[in-house]
Amino acid sequence: MRPVYFCAVFIASLPGTMAAGSMDVAPSSTTFSHPKTPDVTVVLDIKGTFSPGALRQMQKEAGDIIGTSGIDLGWRLRDDISGGTFNDLVVLTFKGTCVLDPTPALHDELGPYAFTRVSNGEVQPFGEVDCDRVANSIKGAMYGDDYSKSDLLMGRALGRVVAHELVHMLTKSGRHAHEGVYKASLSGKQLISASLPLTALDIEQLRQEHRTH
């Protein structure tokens, strides 16, 4: 199965709305806790459906990946940010069905898993994730009893897509790595593999950016 690319760049001239430009790559029952102010708070704007189990796994996966740089992630739903105190905010919109079902994959539907906004050549702290494309990609890599772990695998895949976009946002860069989760393209198999970390260079760049704040 071919990798799905998710980091093509679209440049906008005006930052007026979240639809200005792009850089490619509601679980009401979910409880979010905030024991301390995290380094970066990820605001989730969920437009479609999301499995609470997959959501928790996504948070864990993205948190573990980005956490290797020493940056602590926090999570909020969009309706849960008023009156809060934050060190740094990024916003991710999730569209489509963020729940894995057993229907066959549509192999002819290739496109970006996600993108990060770019305006006037500058990377913005706004992105969007296409859950349907993520799910479609990983189905082609699943077999046997994988569907009994659908929440874990969907959450793992989404966590890696989110981590990829967060590196763009936090380093304010459109570059990509030659390996690891920050590659320009990732296959469904890579999205659900046992491990897909950042490279040492990616970790150092995140640390350097974090030290400047």
> Tens of pLDDT along 46-71?
999 999 999 999 999 999 999 999 99
Question: Exposure pattern of 124-139 as b/e (b: 16+ CB <10 Å)?
Answer: bbbbbbbbbbbbbbbb
Higher pLDDT, 104 or 206: 206
Structure tokens at 12: 């906008």
- Can you tell me the distance from the alpha carbon of 158 to that of 115, in angstroms, rounded to the nearest whole number? 13
Q: Are strands 49-50 and 97-98 parallel, antiparallel or unpaired?
A: parallel
Decide: 160 and 191 in contact? Cβ < 8 Å: yes
Whether 29 shows a pLDDT value over 60: the answer reads no
- Can you tell me the distance from the alpha carbon of 89 to that of 87, in angstroms, rounded to the nearest whole number? 7
DSSP run (H or E) holding 45: strand 40-46
**Residue 149, CA distances (Å) to 29, 124, 138, 201 in order:** 20, 34, 12, 32
pLDDT value at residue 22: 45
pLDDT value at residue 102: 73
pLDDT value at residue 110: 55
11-25, 32-46, 49-63, 149-163: segment of lowest average pLDDT: 11-25
For the chain, domains (ranges, CATH) are 4-211 (3.40.390.10)
67-71, 140-144, 159-163: segment of lowest average pLDDT: 140-144
Decide: 156 and 137 in contact? Cβ < 8 Å: no
Whether 123 shows a pLDDT value over 90: the answer reads yes
Whether 167 shows a pLDDT value over 70: the answer reads yes
Residue 36, Cβ density class (10 Å: 0-12 exposed, 13-18 middle, ≥19 buried)? exposed
